[in-house]
Structure 1
Amino acid sequence: MEAESLALSLELVSGSGLGLSPEQCAALRSSLLLLQRDLRLCRVRLWGKVLGVRGDYVIAQGNEGPDLLQGRKSFYSLNYVDWCLLPPATDSLIAETQVVKGRFIGDPAHEYEHIIRRKSGEGESADEEELIALR
């Protein structure tokens, strides 16, 4: 959804009951236009809202030039006003996130944990060790 036509677009998709309040919509529209102006982006589009246990993320993407595939930057907001740059998805980051199990918390400071099982030895003398890693 383009920042300029955000209000109309949100009305069209809010039939599922997960729409935004008028205050959230106004804050989001203003902040997306400011984000576009301040970072000199040609276009800013709202991707959607990711629901979490403690908080929700709003995701937007902007383009530095007319080419939609190059110069693309992704942003997230927790309060519909302040935007933070999302890091690009590298292969190592994707591999790290695939081991995380559980629900999305919605807190940037939350550290997800997963259990790593290591076996040492063979046969009857094999020992299994569990390590807890934080992500």
Structure 2
Amino acid sequence: MGIDSNRLLLDIENLAYSGIVLSVEQRAALQTSLSIVREQYKFNKIYFWGKILGTKEDYFIAVGVGRNEIKNRSFLYSHDCIRWKLLNPPVDEHFEKLKIVKGRFTGDPSHEFECKTYKVVGQGEEEHLEEDITLLKEEDRLAAVVRTIESEALVVPRSAYVLQPTGEVVRNRLFEGLSVNESAKFCNYFHFRDPIVLEKKSPLFRANLDKAIDFLDPIDEDQPNGCWSLQFERGSALTLLRSLKWPGASFFHIPETSSYGFSYFGIGEENRDIPFML
């Protein structure tokens, strides 16, 4: 999920209230190139996901999805919105290094970052800290960051997607949007990922849920409390949801319509100070 390539020109305007903008040239290039990429890789749909800012060049990110949108997701990046390259899926090692790596993205996929860790060696008077340096390629860091933002900041409205008996997660064609009152409540927005919190709930709690639409984690239980910002624009005609944990991650929904979308425009760094800011 992101901004549907077929609705790019229209939906990007709704995210302009969050500072997310594209030039005329970028919009035109994205519309054409994403259609070509969709046919090339046989995706069911392709979405414009966002932009990660680098010191020299920026990364434009797109995501192609298969029939099961929550499982079959492939990410691509581009510097010019025309030529796209697939991102390899990150492994556990990349996520571990992501926690300690420092420095901005450069825009060079082959750039390598130093990841320093320290461990205590020796005993008694000979005890000392030993530095261990490993490398993380920027392309691998990019893949890990995109996946992490997806897991923690990508949201969809309640009932926008349904879980079919086959286990596939597909768009709900009957979704007509949240009401204005519903769109003002965090409990009506779900993380678009495999459920984590829901799996820990009691069987009695889950028995009372509608399994077809309440199969994802709602964001109202995210920690720390207050890590999401919600506001209305154009009166109550547009709902904007922003992640304070990942500055630059924004979601919009037009109440009582099926129009919604997500995009991330930022430096790809988590706001680790948020517990002290709330």
Regarding TM over 0.5, the answer is: yes
Aligned to 1:21: 23
RMSD: 1.8
Give the unaligned 5+ runs of structure 1: none
**Aligned-pair distance for 1:77?**
1.2
Aligned to 2:97: 96
Aligned to 2:38: 36
1:51 pairs with one of 50, 53, 57: 53
- 1:132 partnered with 2:133: yes
**Aligned-pair distance for 1:12?**
2.0
* 2:65 partner amino acid: N
User: Percent identity, aligned pairs only?
Assistant: 37
* 2:51 partner amino acid: K
CA distance in structure 2 between the aligned counterparts of 1:68 and 1:131, rounded to whole angstroms: 40
Higher relative contact order (CA 8 A, sep 6+): 2
> Structure 1 70/130 Cα, relative in aligned 2: closer, same or farther at 3 Å?
closer
Aligned to 2:87: 86
**Aligned-pair distance for 1:62?**
1.0
> Structure 1 91/132 Cα, relative in aligned 2: closer, same or farther at 3 Å?
closer
Aligned to 1:8: 10
What TM-score, normalized by structure 1, do the two folds share? 0.86
Number of residue equivalences: 134
SS of alignment partner, residue 112 of structure 1: strand
Deviates more, 1:118-127 or 1:48-57: 118-127
* 1:103 partner amino acid: R
Q: Deviations over 1:85-116 (max 9, x none)?
A: 11223222212322212223232111001223
CA distance in structure 1 between the aligned counterparts of 2:35 and 2:25, rounded to whole angstroms: 16
What TM-score, normalized by structure 2, do the two folds share? 0.45
SS of alignment partner, residue 79 of structure 1: coil
**Aligned-pair distance for 1:131?**
3.7
Aligned to 1:63: 65
CA distance in structure 1 between the aligned counterparts of 2:121 and 2:71, rounded to whole angstroms: 47
